[in-house]
Homo-oligomer: A and B are copies of this chain.
Amino acid sequence: MQTQPNPTLDDVARRAGVSTATVSRCLNAPAKVSGKTRERVMAAVTALGYTPHFGARAMAARRTHTIGAVIPTMENAVFARGLQAFQEGLHAAGYTLLVASSAYDPVVEAEQVRALVARGADGLLLIGRTRDRALTDFLSARGVPALLAWVVEGEGVSVGFDNRAAMRALAEAVLAEGHRRIAMISGLTTGNDRASERLAGLREALAAAGLTRAGLPLEEVPYGIETGGAAFARLMEARPRPTAVMCGNDVLAAGALAKAAEMGLRVPEDVSITGFDDIELARIVPPGLTTAHVPHRDMGARAAEVLIALVEGGDAASVTLACPVVRRGSLGPPRG
């Protein structure tokens, strides 16, 4: 499809009457070139519409100023928002972001990581911390630093929050209202440490309140409004019914809320519902969703800082952010 060959450094050099080395310096270290020459070169650059060839540059410079990120899916607003902030931070520092999605599949994730490394990513942003040894080894052999986000430090540097503690705090708020029959709708926990940590947090809180572990009705379903609604309906078939349904994320909770309305159940009088993430949705679904606030944008911005430090300097410390409980209308005392 290449109709006319793209202009190269050589074309620019010829047109400006200098060597390719000078042109290259003009572009990468303008201070090393005299004012007059620089002007002439820049004129040639714009006249020709020259754009440096990325592959060639990466090859010669062994540096790409590119950061790769592998996220589970772009369809989840939570990642989209964090990533947007992340990319703004990178852009400001002169880095470009390459995004790939894994569809929550570790095999695909590994593939994508390799693809990004092959593309010359100087560093990587990864979500969560469940991943296999081979991948970590691969990255360290290649000398590509990776930052883990959405979790707290396991091994390696991370920027994130403690999913378990946040969920436990939320559960404590629910218990404090007087709820004893609590059920949970969790996202799929297989290969998803955020989901399993949240579940674990709830179990810890229940145990601490003297409620037996066996007593937690649980539905584990894929991410989605529909699936959340369906899971809610199943949980509400139990007699006696749970008085509170805690969800692994806001989207599941929104589904539960919608289904409750459809079933003629009042929230929170007949049943309390909680979410996790605090996406915009949480504010607008009536009566407002009580949830754990995850500072997505802040996390993305901090992640950019830390990863750049890692890439350029060599080391940087992990950051742990707080996830306060946000109380809205969906949580109230059990009736009776």
Contact = CB atoms under 8 A, between A and B. Distances in A.
B258 A225 contact: no
A182 interface: no
B56 A55 contact: yes
A323 B110 CA distance: 38
B2 A142 contact: yes
Contacts of A4: 141, 143
A54 B144 contact: no
A103 to B, nearest CB: 8
Given A54-B55, A83-B74, A98 B101 contact: no
Interface string A278-304: 001101111000000000000000000
A31 interface: no
A73 B84 contact: yes
Given A3-B143, A87-B101, A54 B118 contact: yes
A40 interface: no
A129 to B, nearest CB: 21
Nearest to A57: B55
A316 to B, nearest CB: 13
Interface string A39-75: 0000000000101111111110010100000000111
Residue among A54, A75, A143, A225 with max Cβ neighbours from chain B (10 Å): A54
A81 interface: yes
A258 to B, nearest CB: 4
B119 A6 contact: no
Interface string A71-91: 001110100110110010000
B280 A117 contact: no
Contacts of A100: 96-97
Contacts of A74: 74, 80-81, 83-84, 87
B52 A55 contact: no
A145 B145 CA distance: 35
8 contacts: A1-B314, A54-B55, A55-B56, A74-B87, A75-B80, A87-B101, A255-B284, A257-B284
A261 to B, nearest CB: 6
A75 B2 CA distance: 34
Given A98-B98, A118-B53, A2 B143 contact: yes
10 A-B pairs closest in CB distance? A55-B55, A55-B58, A3-B143, A2-B143, A258-B284, A55-B59, A74-B80, A54-B119, A1-B143, A51-B118
A142 B48 CA distance: 12
Given A74-B87, A80-B80, 13 more contacts: A1-B144, A2-B62, A53-B120, A54-B58, A55-B120, A74-B83, A74-B84, A75-B77, A77-B77, A87-B101, A96-B115, A99-B99, A281-B281
A12 B311 CA distance: 28
A113 to B, nearest CB: 10
Nearest to A62: B2
A254 interface: yes
Interface in A113-170: 114-115, 117-120, 122, 138, 140-145
